[in-house]
Amino acid sequence: MSLEVKDKTRVRLVFLGAAGVGKTALIRRFLQDTFEAKHRRTVEELHSREYEVGGGGSAKITVEILDTSGSYSFPAMRKLSIQSSDAFALVYAVDDPPSLEAVKSLRDEILEVRADKSPAIVVVGNKTDREAERSVSHKETLATVELDWNHSYVEASAKQNTNVVEVFRELLQQAHLPSRLSPAFRRRRETIPKDSSFRPPMNKTNSCVVS
């Protein structure tokens, strides 16, 4: 990242993945604490929230969350979202092996577009509420993501609200944001907890924690 934390005023997190893996559901659960079982097709939606750095209110950061289409019919739009974002959530469903293959392709595309061998990426295995139908190995995927790719890995369930906040904690850590953010405008369930304690990223050189 070229900007220092103190110079940041806007950070964009982008959610990428195949259709139906739950990108929108994860974002909605985090921002609104709601879950809609019925899948609806997303082309592109941008959510924006303003947070204070620390408690003094002297500095504010706008966190943008970009929800992208799972369709490969929009390559130009996807490329633009990759070029303009600071951290990436690559989402697949634990009961859908082809969606993990899509994550691998998206990672390759990020590496190509950004020409960056250490992009800020969190791989998210969503829909752990379907454990009985799991067809993607947790152990093998964890090894690939953290050891081979050197990215963070989180398994989550938007439906059961499992590890959803952890997904965003990891993204903020990867984007070099402070570990403590408080909302400038308080809304229900739109707060990044002030007592967030990030797990150190696999790439230790990306670690930046400001209290």
Q: What is the pLDDT of residues 63-111, one digit of tens each?
A: 999 998 877 667 788 888 899 899 999 999 999 999 999 999 999 999 9
pLDDT < 70 stretches in the chain: 1-8, 39, 42-43, 53-58, 72-73, 178-211
Which CB contacts under 8 angstroms, 24+ apart, belong to 162-165? 162/128, 162/129, 163/128, 164/26, 164/29, 164/30, 165/30, 165/192, 165/193, 165/196
Q: Give me the domain span that covers residue 38.
A: 7-206
- For residue 188, give the CATH number of its domain: 3.40.50.300
In a domain, 96, yes or no: yes
In a domain, 2, yes or no: no
In this predicted structure, what is the pLDDT of residue 116? 77
In a domain, 51, yes or no: yes
In a domain, 68, yes or no: yes
**Strand partners of residue 90:** 16, 123
In a domain, 211, yes or no: no
In a domain, 189, yes or no: yes
In a domain, 121, yes or no: yes
As a whole number of angstroms, the distance between CA 157 and CA 26 comes to 8
In a domain, 1, yes or no: no
- This prediction has a pTM of 0.79
In this predicted structure, what is the pLDDT of residue 102? 96
Number of folded domains that form the chain: 1
**Strand partners of residue 16:** 90
